[in-house]
Amino acid sequence: MNGAESLVHTLLKCGVDTCFVNPGTSEMHFVAALDRIPGMRSVLCLQENVVTGAADAYYRVTGKPAATLLHCGPGLANGLANLHNARRARSGIVNVVGDQATYHRPLDAPLTADAEGWARPVSTFVRTVLSSNRVGEDAAAAVQAARVPPGGIATLILPSDASWDDGGIVGTPLPVAIAPSIDPHAVRHAARILREKKNVLLLLGGDAVHAASQRLAWRIAAMTGAKLMTELSNARTERGQGSLPLERVPYPADAAVKALAPYDHLILVNAVPPVGFFAYPGKPSRQYKEGAGLHVLSRVEQNAEQALQALVDELGAPPAEIPGNGPKPSIVKGKPTPEDLATTIAAILPEGAVIVDESVSYGRGFFRNTHAAAPHDWLQIMGGAIGAGIPLAVGSAIGLHAKGAGDRRVLALQADGSAMYTVQGLWTQAREKLPVTTVILSNRKYQILIGELASVGANPGPTAMNMLDLGNPDIGWVKLAESLGVEAAQADTLEGCADLMAGSFKRPGPFLIELLI
């Protein structure tokens, strides 16, 4: 058994059975091992940032890590943006990065690079395998690291001779870490704040936005009068009928400060203190008001449901019925607006859908108008590195299939500029026949940056505005999608978009809609 074969056997034995791949010469023995050893679903992606973004979503949907296969340091570097997003989402991923043979590395061949150095800022675990007989042991350690709550990125660098040399030994799965216990003092302190203080906000993040945690948070809010809000970005929120109509901390700095201004106390439930996405001249970096008390009920690595249950018990909060979200709305007709598009989506969204949101500036108001949709999951870009949406849709669909829920539809709400970063992911959707509907929000400009020019006090002229224009030439989304194997159509009205979406929800494979906005 060579090192590559021991790696595949070890990953499977540790429960990792999906690998998103973009291989090169250094990884050929790993590729051959994937061919010989059954059990691993290998998903080819045409660019590494699709690989890493798909692995991020796979973890968010399934709760278990996938592997990636990346080619040397530059291949890892191509995937760093979505590894940054995955780190912010606290997703578990096992990166396998091929590298020069140990004896070839000192010669400084063209692809030689500091893969360890590039991996460290986005990884909780980095290790270079030294020999074939260590591959299995190191792979088992990497899987264990990826599963440390709430999830981490483990990067295993595999020199090609460690892969092709004989002497491979299958690694033994290592114990899966459990989340740290909830601090009873933190629970009692939060209960005292809720009993004795006014203007209290429970800020929910991480697993606190899942359904079971929402029900507990509502019991606390209903009893004490505290308000509920979520962080700006959440890895996976359970939403729609039967869930709380939770609002997020807004993105614009002024709106966020205004939304948080009423609160004298913030109780953080798997959340961090809200700060601005960027600094702006003359505006505060911290979005909560000066002097507000910050109280940690549970840290991001702890179990939010356990923390909220402990707080419910401490308060003696009785059961409370989740407030209704109102009836499912009707389709809106006419020219698209953000609010009307969200209402139309809520009207036709199938139950159990997964929405992947990289709508950027256009979609900031989507939450409020989709509370009454059928029950669904909502995935957001977490680290602000655009180009996540199409890969997240790929990983979501693969993850749903792995869970035995491959009939659930993925709806990707995708800004046009961001989509061009990882458009190669459409090809993987077509190759794997994934049930993904992509709605390209085509305003043919970097609209978010036009707003940011004003926010930072810049004074743009023709040259600056030209750098934010995507309409010279227009991107032909229908032809582009079709060239990658995805059927596509264009719409310029809400009813036209609704008809295309509804039709796509009934079909087995991917479909793309360019919505002119």
Q: For a pLDDT cut of 90, what percent of the chain falls above it?
A: 91
**pLDDT score of 469:** 75
For the domain made up of 184-315, give the CATH fold: Rossmann fold (3.40.50)
Q: Concatenated DSSP letters for 45-91?
A: -SSHHHHHHHHHHHHHHHSSPEEEEEEHHHHHHHTHHHHHHHHHHT-
| Residue 461 predicted with pLDDT over 80 | no
User: How far does Cα 19 stand from its chain's mean position?
Assistant: 17
What's the Cα-to-Cα distance from 162 to each of 60, 114, 344, rounded to whole Å?
Answer: 32, 18, 54
- The whole-angstrom separation of Cα 80 and Cα 358 is 18
H helix intervals, 97-248: 115-119, 135-146, 160-164, 184-196, 211-224
Confidence of residue 483 (pLDDT cuts 50, 70, 90): very high
| Whether this model's pTM surpasses 0.85 | yes
Tokens at residue 384, please?
């602000």
Please report, as a single letter, which amino acid is at residue 334: G
Q: For a pLDDT cut of 70, what percent of the chain falls above it?
A: 96
Strand 376-380, strand 237-239: pairing:
antiparallel
In degrees, rounded to 5, the angle at the alpha carbon of residue 189 between the alpha carbons of residues 186 and 191 is 110
Mean pLDDT of 170-192: 97
What is the CB neighbour count within 10 angstroms for residue 267? 28
The helix-helix angle for 48-62 and 80-89 (nearest 10°) equals: 20
Whose CA is closest to 346, among 326, 329, 322?
Answer: 329
pLDDT digits (tens, 9 = 90+) for 446-457: 666 666 666 666
Whose CA is closest to 43, among 428, 488, 359, 461?
Answer: 428
Cis peptide bond prior to 150, omega within 30° of 0: yes
What's the Cα-to-Cα distance from 351 to each of 85, 240, 502, rounded to whole Å?
Answer: 27, 9, 13
| Residue 307 predicted with pLDDT over 90 | yes
Region 3-164: CATH code: 3.40.50.970
Which residues have CB under 8 Å from 506's CB, separation 6+?
A: none
**Helix, strand and coil in the chain, % to nearest 5:** 40, 20, 40
- The whole-angstrom separation of Cα 266 and Cα 149 is 24
Mean pLDDT of 360-371: 90
**pLDDT score of 365:** 82
pLDDT digits (tens, 9 = 90+) for 68-124: 999 999 999 999 999 999 999 999 999 999 999 999 999 999 999 999 999 999 999
Tokens at residue 445, please?
């400009």
pLDDT digits (tens, 9 = 90+) for 378-412: 999 999 999 999 999 999 999 999 999 999 999 99
- The whole-angstrom separation of Cα 270 and Cα 201 is 14
Among all chains, which residue has been given the structure tokens 């002229």? 461
3-state secondary structure of 429: helix
Cis peptide bond prior to 473, omega within 30° of 0: yes
Tokens at residue 310, please?
């402990």
**pLDDT score of 312:** 98
**pLDDT score of 451:** 66
Locate the domains of the chain by residue range.
3-164, 184-315, 338-516
Architecture in CATH for domain 338-516: 3-Layer(aba) Sandwich (3.40)
**pLDDT score of 472:** 79
Mean pLDDT of 230-241: 97
pLDDT digits (tens, 9 = 90+) for 30-83: 999 999 999 999 999 999 999 999 999 999 999 999 999 999 999 999 999 999
Q: What is the mean pLDDT of the chain?
A: 95
**pLDDT score of 11:** 98
Confidence of residue 291 (pLDDT cuts 50, 70, 90): very high
Q: Concatenated DSSP letters for 283-351?
A: S-SB-SPTT-EEEEEE-TTS-HHHHHHHHHHHHTPPP-PPPP--S--PPP-SS--HHHHHHHHHHHPPT
Tokens at residue 146, please?
């990826």
Burial of residue 368 (CB within 10 Å: 0-12, 13-18, 19+) is: middle
Whether the domain at 3-164 and the domain at 338-516 fall into the same CATH topology: yes
H helix intervals, 105-183: 115-119, 135-146, 160-164
| Residue 460 predicted with pLDDT over 90 | no
Q: Is the dihedral of CA 433, 434, 439, 443 positive or negative?
A: negative
Whose CA is closest to 453, among 461, 386, 425?
Answer: 461
- The whole-angstrom separation of Cα 53 and Cα 83 is 7
**Spatial contact of 174 and 139, defined as CB atoms under 8 Å apart:** no
**Spatial contact of 389 and 358, defined as CB atoms under 8 Å apart:** yes
- The whole-angstrom separation of Cα 397 and Cα 94 is 19
**pLDDT score of 122:** 98
Confidence of residue 462 (pLDDT cuts 50, 70, 90): confident
